[in-house]
Amino acid sequence: VLGGFLAVTGIPLNLIIAMAGIILTGLSIDYGIYAVQAFQDGPGSSIPFAMGMSAATTVFATAALLFSKHPILFHIGLTLTVGITIAYLTGRLVVPALLRQHASKNRIILLTFGLSAAIVLSGCRSFQTAATPELTEQLRQELALWQQQSPQQAKFQAKVTLSNIFASIPMLVVGDVDLDKQTIVLAGLSPTGAKLFTITSQNNAINQLKISNFFPEKHAKILRDLHQHFYHLFFFNTPELPDDFRLCDRELTFTSLGSDAKPVQYRFSGRPLVLAAKREKGLLTTRWQCQYHTIERFGRYWRPGVVTAKLAGSAFRCDLDFIRFTVLTQPPPNSHPNPTSN
């Protein structure tokens, strides 16, 4: 049932939802046991009231996570809230209905297993939408709208965490980006406000890298990798839709040319379409990837919210949370020549 809910709402199955499903199994399995016991006790049983109170308190607690902006907490709250609600309704409605049929135990088990399998298979399956000319034109119009709302120049502040299994490096990064000139300026501050570094680059080439005494010189590669994360995050976000694309449940995936004319795999989702992830694959591994957990609308422009970036050969994963993003210039409007009459 949870898989069906995800399919209907267009939420893709991810690792967090799968792990939260393990917790959900332990929380929801008791509702079926209590439902059988309540049926055996008869109409005067107090178990249904206890089931309702247990479900209500659990749902209220997990629903609080739905207001979190962090994608991990949100998906955990979503999985547990929906799962507990479904488990309670199943225990109160479905299980007693099956028991009232006076069917044999084996028939009940087979019926329950068959119903669960049908729901899981129908809910978790992704159906690819046929690429008709009308659909292709609609998708291209949505991508054109996305391109028009893409900022060309902006100032930003982002909470950045470089982490692996051994260490975590938090910092605040203040910067400017200009897509027309292909320039990036970054300045890193420690949690105490000490300046760590400054980076200026153009055309993905670092022109200047200054490291303060608060940041070890031997970790200069980490800063170069950080610059690559920002470069991949901001640039090549407005690809053209090729004829060969895949659309499943409002999730559009296709491959287009990115940096250095190398193919980049894009994933757009939602209505209207917004960028969800992109990556450049090598022969055996992924060279780099960016996952946009949230894309926020600010006026007529989009801006990144929470982003996770990875780079092949880098020892750290980069998690970014943009707390300020100011658009400085507007993208040039699409100019069309006025028709002239002879």
pTM of the predicted model over 0.75: no
Q: What angle do CA 200, 152, 262 make, to 5 degrees?
A: 75
Angle between helix 47-63 and helix 15-41 axes, rounded to 10 deg: 160
Q: What is the pLDDT of residue 341?
A: 36
76: its two tokens: 């955990």
Amino acid letter at 87? Answer: A
328, 175 Cβ separation under 8 angstroms: no
Which helix or strand (DSSP H or E) is residue 3 part of? helix 2-9
Q: What is the pLDDT of residue 157?
A: 93
DSSP letter at 272 equals T
Which residue's entry shows tokens 């929801």? 28
Structural domain boundaries of the chain? Answer: 2-124, 133-329
CATH class, 133-329 region: mainly beta
**Cα distance between residue 96 and residue 98, in whole Å:** 5
> What is the number of other CB atoms lying within 10 angstroms of the CB of residue 325?
19
Q: How does DSSP assign 214-269, residue by residue?
A: TS-GGGHHHHHHHHHHHHHHHSS--PPPPSSEEEETTEEEEEEE-GGG-EEEEEEE
Tally DSSP H helices, then E strands, for the chain. 8, 14
Q: Averaged in consecutive runs of 10 residues, what is the pLDDT profile of the chain (342 residues)?
A: 69 78 85 83 84 90 86 86 89 80 60 60 51 81 86 91 85 92 92 90 91 76 91 88 80 79 86 87 82 82 89 87 82 41 35
Cis, bond preceding 333 (omega within 30 deg of 0): no
